[in-house]
Amino acid sequence: MPTDHIRYDLLTSDAMRGVLRRVLTDAAERGLPGEHHFFITFKSKADGVTISPRLLTQYPEEMTIILQHQFWDLIVTEDHFEVGLSFGGVPERLVVPFSAIKSFFDPSVQFGLQFEPAETGEAQAEKAETEETSTSEPSTAPSPTALAVPADPSQPAAAESENKPKPGQGAEVVRLDRFRKK
């Protein structure tokens, strides 16, 4: 298998995180339009994540938050977002780097993105060490995928296996506009 010196997986991930950043920036500036609301899942212990010890005890691996009616002070920067939410009546301030996000979903329009969270510095060093000593072909990081669910429930969603290349085949390009309302 040829080596990807361009790193399309990283370019795609950055572009898709840019979509998420733009959506959150618009929500911070103008609020959520219509029925839009967001489910955001992130790794609780990823570098740069700031959550209270109480929440970390409840969600030691990953956490899903919903930005809908009761959130405040949404601040979006180039590399993270901050938001105030209430958990069991207790207000909390969360800081979530975009690199820690595993998935984003807006159920009002059935649109979602799924990411492979960035590895921590220690995990990257271990992976690099393993690749240097390995004589097999280098592995590539899984690329982010767009989750698309048809708005019309009578139409079945594309099976997940359709989006994954079979061994020996090239990757299939999936056009998301086939799922959009027309």
- The helix or strand, by DSSP H or E, that contains position 171, with its residue range, turns out to be none
Question: Measured between alpha carbons, how far is 94 from 55 in angstroms, rounded to an integer?
Answer: 10
Question: Measured between alpha carbons, how far is 164 from 61 in angstroms, rounded to an integer?
Answer: 26
Specify the CATH number for 8-179; select among 1.10.3720.10, 2.30.30.220, 3.30.70.270, 3.40.980.10: 2.30.30.220
| Mean pLDDT computed over 70-81 | 95
Q: What percent of the chain has pLDDT over 90?
A: 56
List, for residues 39-57, the tens digit of each pLDDT value. 999 999 999 999 999 999 9
Question: Contact, 33 vs 104, CB < 8 A?
Answer: no
Q: Give me the pLDDT at residue 177, please.
A: 52
Q: Which amino acid makes up residue 14? A: D
List, for residues 144-173, the tens digit of each pLDDT value. 444 444 334 333 333 333 333 444 444 444
Domain boundaries, the chain: 8-179
